[in-house]
A and B are shown apart, each in its own frame.
Chain A
Amino acid sequence: MTIFYAFLAGLLFGIGLIVSDMVSPSKVLAFLDVAGKWDPSLAVVAAAAVAVGVIAYAVARKRTDTLLGTPMRLPQATAIDPRLALGSLVFGIGWGLAGFGPGPALAALGTGHVKAFLFVVAMIAGMGIYEFAEYKRAQKARSALASEHHAHEHHRAGGKHKGRRH
């Protein structure tokens, strides 16, 4: 059942993007172009979606499990840090360059447009770069921890050795 509802959610999300024409990069860019012929449509889309979402999350927050009986697993992160800020700025530059976010790009992919395909491939590559960087970071942290532990052991052994010599 979770699979059915996830599919339904994805489908409604996509149809919402198509009906509102947020699937078109030109429509998104017209919203971001505040100094040109500004098209406020995106703000209306977002406001309507957030309004419905506020109600949904208010209900979800009061529950510990879902309507299907599975546990609620909504995000818990609250940190406002450099990662969030830099990530958002980099995301925004990419968004402004082509007029595509992840949702509209995947829906546009479904129209068979070759340019949407190219964007999605690059986006997945970008996500892959993040995963790789995080993997390397975790690996470095692990080896730093291991060598610190090793040095500690060595120090103790050395200390004992010295002690015996005296």
Chain B
Amino acid sequence: MNPDLLSFTPWTALAGGVLIGLAVAILALANGRQASVSAIAAGLLRLDLADLPWRVAFVAGLVVAPTLYGAFVYLPTLKIDANYSTLIAAGLLVGVGARYAGGCTSGHGICGLARLSPRSLVATLLFLAAGVATVYVARHLLTTA
């Protein structure tokens, strides 16, 4: 590992992480729910009416965040390198995988670890390993650049 100190942004990472932690805390203490984005989004799909309003509200907050934030602070245009077919394949894998795993980067990686759940630690280590392996294959084995 060779940390790239030019692209490392520890202070904004720390600030953003604390904000995400506060979001997790609010949803846990006020609503008694875990901030697992995949589980909340999947709940919308299942249309269980009792839980629909808070789930819609959470996803709406997430989606309007760039607009509200962008009203006060300059927001650079997002750069997404992956082509259309890669994005479709990636989206399908993320959707199916997150549901079978019962969580995602937020559900297991943040909330689960914060709950000190061994199940979430296993999930997090596995998806980190798979993510690292995928990027390694894509960037260092399949391309010579």
Give A contacts to B, CB under 8 Å: 1-26, 29-30, 32-42, 44-57, 59-61, 65-68, 70-75, 77-80, 83-103, 105-111, 113, 115-116, 118-131
Partner of A101, one of B37, B82, B86, B118: B37
Starting from the known contacts A13-B19, A25-B82, 18 additional A-B residue pairs (CB-CB under 8 Å) come to A2-B30, A5-B31, A10-B23, A10-B57, A26-B81, A34-B1, A56-B28, A68-B30, A71-B32, A87-B100, A91-B127, A98-B94, A110-B66, A115-B84, A118-B87, A119-B91, A122-B92, A128-B45
Q: How far is the CB of B83 from chain A (nearest CB, A)?
A: 9
Q: Within 8 Å CB of A11, what residues of B? A: 23, 61-62, 64-65, 68
Chain B interface SS verdict (over half): helix
A to B CB contacts below 8 Å, 6 in the list: A48-B20, A79-B119, A89-B97, A93-B93, A101-B105, A107-B66
B96 with A129: CB separation less than 8 A? yes
Q: How large is the interface on B (under 10, 10 to 19, 20 to 34, 35 or more residues)?
A: 35 or more
Known: A35-B140, A42-B13. A97 touches B90 (CB 8 A): yes
Known: A18-B65, A35-B140, A110-B67. A45 touches B108 (CB 8 A): no
Docked CA distance A112–B127 (Å) = 28
A74 with B127: CB separation less than 8 A? no
Chain A interface SS verdict (over half): helix
Instruction: Return the chain A residue nearest B26 by Cβ.
Output: A9
